[in-house]
Every structure is written in structure tokens, then in C-alpha cells.
Structure 1
Amino acid sequence: MAKVISFSIFKGGTGKTTSAVNTAAALTELGKRVLLVDLDQQASSTRYVGIEPEPISPAFYHVFMRQVPASVVKQPTRFGFDILPSSSLMAAIEESLEPDDDVLLRDILLPLHDHYDYILIDTPPGKAGLAINGIIAADWLVVPASAERMAIDGVSDLVNHVQSIIWHKFREQLSHQEIRILFTMYKSATTHSPGVVQATKRIYGGNVLDIIIPETIEFPRSFDLQMPITRTAPNNAGASAYRQFAQWISDHA
């Protein structure tokens, strides 16, 4: 039975896609069966693994419209894990979602659980329907936060919304959901990043992971090459950090 991990924060530009793709690759290196789900209409995860979203048909849209099962749309990647790719039709999904459709993604993914060890979800920014679906479908929420002062506000916004609204509304289904904060874009040469991490730990304690993803030019380079950093720069500190995070997931989730 797969564990579902959603990379979620309402603010953009914090490393959700980078974390989702590279965690998928690192878990695959550990021999895990992984499905990556790209919910963002920008299709960054889909492009990151070398798949162009536009020609895909049937697409995720048809899954949400209950026209085809997710198993028809998922694709293998060159890196050993599968992906449910995004497409330009994701905006149409957002427009079609009704207030009672918050659990739709959870139901869509359920038939796939026996085929994977982990299902990773790259959620879109904001608080619209697809982002909320991605949160509700998850056993674990990983909040990627860039190591800068504004990040604390973004983390607080997500955590407060989840705990006060989503958990309250879905208290039975999400009673065992866990939240962990993963710092990204960490600049070790400054005192700023360590200060942000320590300030966040004072607020959220053990929910802040000790694993930290460093800032490195190798991440944008790996995106340009459409390959995870574990392939483009396997000895880089960023690759090592995601391997460490994958091992943490394997041990705890």
C-alpha cells in the first residue's frame, strides 16, 4: 500500500517541483516503486523529466472527468519512476471542480496504491481546488521552504490553513496526516539561512527536518537537462541531500 506524500506550500518558488522530482529519483535509487503526480498546470515536473505536456491524450483532465482511469494516463520516465503528467488542460480541471470535489484526487489514486511504495504529488501554488486535493490525498505533507525570512510566513500560512480548516473539515480521513518542513535553497556561507531555520524550529519544533537542501547552480542545470540532479551531478551536495531525504522517508513514512 503506497504512502502518499504531497509537496505543498501556497507560495510559489520554494522548490516544490525540484523536491518532488529529485525525491522521486532518490527513492527509486533505493529500489522503491514511485509514482510522481504533477498537478500544476505549468507542468514543471512533467518537463523536468523530459516529457512535453501538450500532445498528451488522454490527459489528466480525462481522469478527473472520470472518462479514463489514472492507469491509462501514467507514463514511465527514463529514471525508473512513473509520472501522471500535467497538461494544458489542468486549468480546465480547476474550473470544473465543485466544492465537494476535494477528495477526488484521493479516490483517483486509490486503485494505484498497490502498485507503488510511494506516490509523490507536486501541487500548484495557491489555495484553489487542485492544491487542496493534493493536500487531502496525502498521508504526509512536506512543506518545501526556501531559507529566507519570507518563508516563515509561507509555512505559517500553509500549516494554519491545514490545521484549522482542512483537518477540521476532514478530521476522520486526515487524523493521521503528518506535516514536515523541508528547507531548500540553503546558503551555508551566510548567517541568514541558519537564522531562518532556527527561528522556524522555535515555532514548529520537530516538524522541521534536520535535512537541508543547499542552494546550488546544479538544480537549474538539471532542470535544463531534463534529468534529476542525481543523474546530472551525482556527487553534488544537492544530490546527497535528496538521497538523505529519501532515506529518511524510507525509514519513517
Structure 2
Amino acid sequence: MARKIANIIHRGGAGKSTNSEMEAYFLATLYNKKTLLVDCDDQADVSRRIKRTFNKTDLEPKKRFMRGIRDFDLSDTIITLHENLDLLQGDWLLENFDDYLKDNVEEKGRFFLFYTLFKELDKHYDYIIFDTKPRTSKITNNVVCASDYVIIPTKVSRGSIEATQRTYNYLADISDYNENIELVGIIPYFESDTSRTDKNFKELKQAFGDDVYKHKLKWSDRVLSWEDEGVTNNALQDKFAIRMFKKVMNETMERIKKIEEANNNGN
């Protein structure tokens, strides 16, 4: 059965889609895990980026995401980018998801449509990675209720720390619908090294303690270039950036391992 990981923060530009892309990239290419990346944002940013990385920009599914939801069958919405990586790409028609739920799903089941849909895909993958909208939405509710783990990527800034707290509170509230959901942690993104950033990081640590990752991410021109060109691993700058993300990915895997060991010991 696939481990399902949701990347969530209720703020745009906090590094959520970058983290979703790099998780899927490393799981497929470094860890040799069969992985499905699911883009639940109607802007489809992570879909465009990951397709550039694997030179599959012209590849399109037989059905779009929202059509697959309406047909209650996602099999024809998935495209293959790499022998270990499939993509369920974002679709601007996902903006109609809330109306679809209201009109077609009974109220008590409106949190669990994705749980049912993705349960059918579990046997085909080791990991399913969800990228979500940068705001509260019914599709994000469905992602949380379908997932095993949540990661909160956040910039180390005042606004993003506040968004992290809102997201943290949101997850606490919605855990009533998925009591098994586990927080892997909070990944800090540094845009610059300044005294203000250091102060913000201390506040982040004070607020969330060990939930904050030990390894940090730093924005760079190389990471920004990946948004336009796809992830590359050729130049020296690429290797530095790849190494940084790899350390974070290794910590993610270690944190998940510890959570599962603790749960198994508890049982």
C-alpha cells in the first residue's frame, strides 16, 4: 500500500510546489520508488515544472483530472514521466470541485471522495505525493483525509510563520476526519541570511520545536532556474542545490521511519 504524503501551507510562494516536485523527483530517481505526483492546484505549476524536468512537456493524459473525478476513475488521467514516476497533472477545471461535491456527494461523504478514488491506486505505487492549493479548500480537505502524512514547507518570514500557524491549526481541526494523519514536520526555506531572518527562524523554532526540520533550504538562482528549465544536475551550482534538497529528503524519510517505528511499538 502506498504511503501518501500531502504538502500543505495556506500561503502562496512558500515553497510547497518546489518541495512536492523534489520529493517526487528523489523518490523516483534516488530511492527507486514507484511514485505518483498528484497536482491538486488548478494553476498546475508543479505539473509544468516536473514535465520540463523529464522532457515530457507535450505529453497529455487521455482524460483531465476533473473528468476522472466525475467518472469516478482516475486510470486515464495519469501520464508516465519516468519508469518510476507518474503524474496526475493539475487541471483548471478543478476550480469546479466544490460545486461537484455539493451537487453529487452526500454531505457526510464530502471529505472522503479522494480517499475512495486513491485507494484504488494504492497497489500500484510505493508513494503518492499530493501538491495542494495555497489556501483552504474542499479539495485540500479531501487530500488530508486521503493522506498518511503531512509536510508544511514555509519561508522563514513573518507572514509565512503566521501561515504555518494557520495551517497547523487547520490540520488539528481536520484531524477529526482522519485521526491517523501524522505531521512529518515543517521545512524552513531561507530567502536570505539577515538578522531579521535569524529572528524569524528563532520564532519558528520556539513555536513548533522539534517539528521544524534540522536541515534548511535556501533559495538560489539555480533553484529559480529549475522553475523555467526543469531540474538539472550538470553544473556545479546544480550539484550544490541537489545536495541541499537531498539532505531534506533524507530527513523526511528518516522522520517517517521514526513515526512508523513509534506507531508499531505503540501497537
Is TM (by shorter chain) over 0.5? yes
Aligned to 2:179: 174
Q: Which residue of 1 aligns with 2:156?
A: 147
Aligned mates of 2:194, 2:163 — CA distance in 1 = 21
CA distance change for structure 1 residues 166 and 104 in 2, over 3 Å: closer, same or farther? same
Residue in 2 aligned with 1:131?
A: 140
Aligned length: 245
The AA in structure 2 aligned to 1:160 is N
Unaligned runs of 5+ in 2: 257-267
Show the counterpart of 1:12. 12
- Which ranges of structure 1 fall in alignment gaps of 5 or more residues? none
CA contact (8 A) 2:222 2:238 kept: no
Larger Rg: 2
Q: Distance in 2 between matches of 1:94 and 1:228?
A: 33
In 2, Cα distance between equivalents of 1:134 and 1:211 = 26
CA deviations 1:190-236 (Å, max 9, x no partner) are 223232222111111111111211111112211101x2255775412
User: In structure 2, what residue type is equivalent to 1:34?
Assistant: T
Tell me the amino acid that sits aligned with residue 231 of structure 2.
Answer: P
- 2:265 is matched with none
Aligned pairs (5 A) from 1:235-250: 235-236=239-240, 238-250=241-253
Note if 1:207 corresponds to 2:211. Answer: yes
Normalized against structure 2, the TM-score is what?
0.83
Shift of 1:97: 2.1
Q: Is the 8 A contact 2:59 2:79 kept in 1?
A: no
- Whole-Å separation in 2 of the counterparts to 1:175 and 1:55: 35
| Alpha-carbon RMSD | 2.2
Q: How does 1:214-225 map to 2 (within 5 A)?
A: 214-225=218-229
CA distance in 1, matches of 2:169, 2:15: 20
Give the CA deviation at 1:55: 6.1
Contact (CA 8 Å) 2:61, 2:76: kept in 1 or not?
no
Match of 1:97, SS state, is helix
**One-letter amino acid of the counterpart of residue 246, structure 1:** M
Match of 1:22 in 2: 22
Q: Per-residue deviation at 1:52?
A: 5.8
